[in-house]
């Protein structure tokens, strides 16, 4: 068991990000046994859940004529338009059935505001609207985070960068993550994380 101030953050291990899902990440389900084992080693365990309304603006379907994986401009900056995924209450939004969620202390849902996407577990994509996770971790005395989950180059990286900016010591356990890797996004994400002082372990 690690020191009391260490938390494991399990990012978006949901059906839609696993093989067969709407926004499947290659090998997304292969990380589940390692995550289940890690959950038992951390005193604080948080799971995040991407949780979009059907009319969410990050869905290509809600932009007539736009193709999935194309880029659009939102008031807060560029936004990739995704295939419809993790719709609130759908099977795709559920945690993968092999993920052992019972040891989780907190489940934080994100991306529920129709007008704004939320990759990070800490802030929505405007980088200012908080999810509340920072307050939860600080009030529990957490100073060190290990991140795992899906996808490495989007929700895991955004979460890691925000956590580092907030002053947490951050590690990403790469073997327990899988990437979407759109046009080199994984390499860019790893570079950004290293520059921000995130430990890729
Ligand atoms: C994610 C794209 C859209 C992720 C979530 O979990 O990395 N990626 N929504
Ligand atoms: Zn999403």
CA of 18, nearest ligand number:
1
- Closest ligand 1 atom to residue 154 Cα is 7
Q: What is d(CA 9, CA 104) in angstroms, rounded to the nearest whole number? A: 10
- Helix (H) or strand (E) holding 74, with range, is strand 71-74
| Segment-wise mean pLDDT, segments of 10 residues, the chain, 201 residues | 91 98 98 98 98 98 97 95 98 98 98 97 96 98 98 98 98 98 96 98 98
Write down how long the chain is. Answer: 201
In sequence order, what E strands does 129-168 have? 144-150
Q: What is d(CA 123, CA 179) in angstroms, rounded to the nearest whole number? A: 20
**pLDDT of 42:** 98
How far apart, in Å, are the Cα atoms of 187 and each of 153, 183, 190, 191?
Answer: 8, 9, 5, 6
**pLDDT of 175:** 98
- Contact criterion met (CB below 8 Å) for 186 and 152: yes
Pick the residue whose CA is nearest to atom 4 on ligand 1. Answer: 155
Catalytic annotation, pick one of 18, 86, 155, 177:
155
């Amino acid at each position: 068991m690690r020191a009391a101030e260490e938390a494991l953050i399990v990012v978006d291990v949901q059906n839609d990000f696993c093989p067969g899902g709407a926004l499947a990440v290659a090998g997304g389900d292969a990380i589940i046994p390692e995550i289940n084992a890690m959950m038992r080693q951390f005193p604080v365990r948080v799971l995040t859940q991407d949780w979009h309304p059907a009319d969410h603006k990050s869905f290509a379907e809600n932009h007539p004529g736009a193709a999935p994986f194309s880029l659009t401009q939102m008031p807060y900056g560029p936004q990739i338009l995704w295939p419809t995924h993790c719709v609130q209450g759908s099977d795709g939004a559920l945690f993968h059935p092999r993920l052992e969620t019972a040891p989780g202390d907190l489940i934080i849902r994100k991306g529920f505001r129709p007008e704004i996407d939320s990759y990070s577990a800490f802030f929505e994509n405007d980088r200012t609207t908080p999810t509340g996770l920072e307050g939860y971790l600080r009030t529990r005395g957490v100073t060190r985070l290990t991140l795992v989950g899906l996808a490495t180059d989007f929700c895991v990286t955004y979460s890691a960068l925000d956590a580092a900016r907030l002053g947490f010591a951050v590690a990403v356990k790469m073997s327990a993550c899988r990437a979407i890797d759109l046009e080199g996004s994984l390499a860019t994400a790893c570079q950004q994380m290293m520059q921000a002082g995130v430990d890729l372990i």
